[in-house]
Amino acid sequence: MLNEKIATMLNDQINKELYSAYLYLDFANYYADEGLDGFAHWYEVQAQEERDHAFMIRRYLLNNGVRVKFSAIEKPAKTFANHLAPLQAGFEHEQYVTSLITAIYHEAFGQKDYKTMQFLDWFIKEQGEEETNADDLIKKMKLFGGDAKGLYALNQELAARVYTPSATGPAM
């Protein structure tokens, strides 16, 4: 059995990951509406990855005898001033998610819950990659998104992102 506090934190994290999927799908809605289908596609793929994260944590809890409980998913309440704004909001959101994962890791460390630490190792690495990806998008947008040709090319690049379910996943 998992420690109750750790189980609760992980259960809450399922909600945060599903919210992340919802948020990124909302970004995709915005870009689709703006005619930037490549950007929309990139965030659709990101939403699928976030859903996967939620499923992974749910599975870990179930494997450890925890009764998973769901709560309401927050409404994404974002309006965007320009095409850069969702990219910046995405980066900030990933930094927030990293802080949540780190807090669970910290709790697991304090309780010598090595199994959960091992499970979370995958997420720690994933968060590093997601922050880098989000930051790269901002840099590219600032460099190339300022004129129509650059924005068109960047849109084409983002359209090529392929969703690949994680081959390895976290240790269960």
The residue ranges that bind ligand FEO (CB under 6 A) are 17, 20, 50, 53, 94, 97, 130
CB of 21 to ligand FEO, least distance (A): 8
Residue 148: burial class (beta carbons within 10 Å; 0-12, 13-18, 19+): exposed
Residue 71: burial class (beta carbons within 10 Å; 0-12, 13-18, 19+): exposed
Report the candidate in 17, 23, 16 with the shortest Cα–Cα distance to residue 49.
17
Nearest residue to ligand FEO on Cβ basis: 53
**Cβ-based nearer residue to ligand FEO, 102 or 153:** 102
**Cβ-based nearer residue to ligand FEO, 143 or 171:** 171
CB of 13 to ligand FEO, least distance (A): 9
CB of 1 to ligand FEO, least distance (A): 25
What would you measure as the largest C-alpha separation in the chain, in angstroms?
56
**Cβ-based nearer residue to ligand FEO, 129 or 156:** 129
**Cβ-based nearer residue to ligand FEO, 49 or 113:** 49
DSSP-assigned letters across all residues of 36-87 = -HHHHHHHHHHHHHHHHHHHHHHHHHHHTT------PPPPP----SSTTHHH
CB of 94 to ligand FEO, least distance (A): 5
